[in-house]
Amino acid sequence: MTENNSNKKYIIIADDDHFYASIYNQRLLELGYDVSVVSDGEEVLKLMKEKVPVLVMLDLIMPKMDGFEALRLIRENEKYKNVKVLVLSNLGQKEDVDTAMKIGATGYISKSNSSIQDVLIKVKESLR
């Protein structure tokens, strides 16, 4: 029996750190979300053309296209104006946080200073 995922909230995780990506993926699936995992900004934009998510969990340092550029392109596209973008990065300097928020991030979490539970709480808050 195949399950219809159309009523599940769709989230894209964009992180080239497979450890973090797999943990976030597993926990979000357990919470009932429809999840896709990619490892760079180009892949995020490609997936978003196929299916618009409610949330993108976006790392900043990734190959091919970094998170800052992916965030800029997401925010420039009217089709994605309601998509929440939660930045999850090891970059915790004020300048990086300020830049991401100025471009249009919904929130910013420093991976090194946050537990998985902290991230899940922020995801839920972002989707309210």
Give the pLDDT confidence of 51-79 residue by residue, as tens digits. Answer: 999 999 999 999 999 999 999 999 999 99
Task: Identify the CA nearest to 57 among candidates 92, 31, 20.
Answer: 20
pLDDT reading at 4 higher than 90: no
% of the chain with per-residue pLDDT over 70: 95
Continuous segment of H or E residues that includes residue 21: helix 18-30
Cα 4 to Cα 7, 66, 99: the distances in Å are 7, 32, 38
Task: Identify the CA nearest to 108 among candidates 116, 119, 117.
Answer: 119
Residue 42 confidence (pLDDT): 96
Residue 112 confidence (pLDDT): 82
Q: Which residue would you say has higher pLDDT here, 84 or 114? A: 84
Measured distance CA(111)–CA(43) in Å, rounded: 21
Q: What's the topology of domain 6-126?
A: Rossmann fold (3.40.50)
Domain ranges of the chain: 6-126
